[in-house]
Chains A and B, each alone.
Chain A
Amino acid sequence: MSPSAVKEEQRPMSAIRIDARGLSCPQPVVLTNRAIEAGATNLDVLVDNEVSKENVLRLAKRRRLWASLRQEGPDIVIEIAT
């Protein structure tokens, strides 16, 4: 199954949104990880800097989750799906 197919099938309209803007390392990753372990299957993680983006992407990669990026004004949204 291609990543985009996963996205179509398993991403409902209402992904859980985590606002990690302004939080220092490693809180964006901790919040994301906690949501995943609590069973969230669709996440939008909102960050405002490159380092947080890299860290959250690395977490998604390590957990073998689908992830993609989109720009939202000055902020970056990392979409994660299991």
Chain B
Amino acid sequence: MANPFAARAGIVAVGCAIGVTAVLLQYSGNPPNMGICVACFERDIAGALGLHRAGAVQYIRPEIIGLTVGAFLAALIAKEYRPRGGSAPLVRFFLGVFAMIGALVFLGCPWRALLRLAGGDGNAVTGLAGLAAGIGIGVFFLKSGYSLGRAQTQNAAAGILFPAFMAGLLLLLVFQVTFAEGGPIFFSRTGPGSQHAPLLVSLGAGLAVGAIAQRSRFCTMGALRDVILLRDVHLMSGVAGLLVAATAMNLVLGQFRPGFAGQPIAHTDHLWNFLGMALAGLAFVLAGGCPGRQLFLSGEGDLDAGIFALGMIVGAGVSHNFALASSPAGVAPFGPAGVVVGLLFCLAVGFSMRERTP
């Protein structure tokens, strides 16, 4: 096959590389068990832009920029850059919003759930179980003909928009523009938002991971979905690689601390850890990719994936402004309500969006 990354050994190697990179980012300054978390980092970007005012989680994360641009460049080189879109964009936007709401009740995307487990955080187990449950519900919809419809080919320039948006964020980060007194761009002085690896390290890691993930089609949601739907363990072998490599690196660096209570940027409310990730998992299936994969697709020119990612960024603003996002102290007052509304939305989407018979 022309693409070695898409072979079994390739996807395992990519999973291992992501796991090692993420743990090294933690070692270089990123928050604990948060070497790369697409949901958390998009949330930090939302905060930096002032879409929410949670002072502890505001930073323009270069990893997100790198993941997108890395995938964009890899797709260009591989001649896979192909602008397309128009498959129910508004539905995808709200799937992104609710995916973020669910992820922030748990406190992490699937990547971080794996990194939390690799760091010894037992609460990740209930999160991952919830993720699998949500994906299981999504598979039911896929089997009964769920579809958001076909994407159409778009103008070549349109596909550059999302990577260009990311490049714009990089400029804001580099020049740290202050648009108003005490106003955006916001950068956390304390808390997770203040913990970050050096800019070039973060950006370089993001670019590398974005490129190899685009080539290998790495997707955490797809891993679970393909096992449930097709008994296909191809993507799962990459996820296993990530988990094993990250755990090994944590052990080597003395970052492995097993337990449930007092885990970094985590809480022990098992019910809402489970249900938050169930919502996220269901939304990922309905949108066709985990948050990381959506960034890589955006880089390839998938405008619908870009809409989903923007939905996630807006969803982070909603989560923190309306007391939906959890904190280490526990679930926020309106978090459970947000998850219930999100599940109802996703079920409505799943039941109502069927492929049209030609």
Contact = CB atoms under 8 A, between A and B. Distances in A.
15 contacts: A22-B152, A23-B147, A23-B150, A24-B151, A26-B222, A26-B226, A26-B229, A26-B230, A26-B288, A27-B142, A30-B143, A33-B230, A49-B80, A54-B6, A58-B234
A51 interface: yes
A50 B80 contact: yes
A80 to B, nearest CB: 15
Contacts of B230: 26, 29, 33, 59, 62
Contacts of B112: none
* Chain B interface bracket (under 10, 10 to 19, 20 to 34, 35 or more): 20 to 34
Nearest to B226: A26
Nearest to A50: B80
Pick the most buried of A21, A23, A24, A49: most chain B CB atoms within 10 A of its CB.
Answer: A24
Given A48-B82, A49-B80, 16 more contacts: A23-B147, A24-B87, A24-B148, A24-B304, A25-B288, A26-B142, A26-B225, A26-B288, A27-B142, A27-B147, A33-B230, A50-B3, A51-B217, A54-B1, A54-B6, A59-B232
* Chain A interface bracket (under 10, 10 to 19, 20 to 34, 35 or more): 10 to 19
B238 interface: no
Contacts of B1: 54
Interface in B76-91: 78, 80, 82, 84, 87
A25 B289 contact: yes
B150 A22 contact: yes
Contacts, number: 49
Interface string A18-46: 00011111110110010000000000000
Contacts of A51: 217
B142 A21 contact: no
B80 A24 contact: no
Interface in B96-130: none
Contacts of B232: 58-59, 62
A53 to B, nearest CB: 10
Interface of A: 21-27, 29-30, 33, 48-51, 54, 58-59, 62
B6 A49 contact: no
A29 to B, nearest CB: 7
Nearest to A29: B230
**For the complex of A and B, 5 pairs with smallest distance between CB atoms:** A22-B150, A24-B288, A22-B151, A54-B6, A25-B288
Contacts of B289: 25
Nearest to A54: B6
Contacts of B142: 26-27, 30
Contacts of B217: 51, 54
Given A58-B232, A58-B234, A49 B3 contact: no
Nearest to B358: A19
Nearest to A33: B230
Contacts of A50: 3, 78, 80
A23 B88 CA distance: 12
Contacts of B226: 26
Contacts of A59: 230, 232
Interface in B196-221: 217
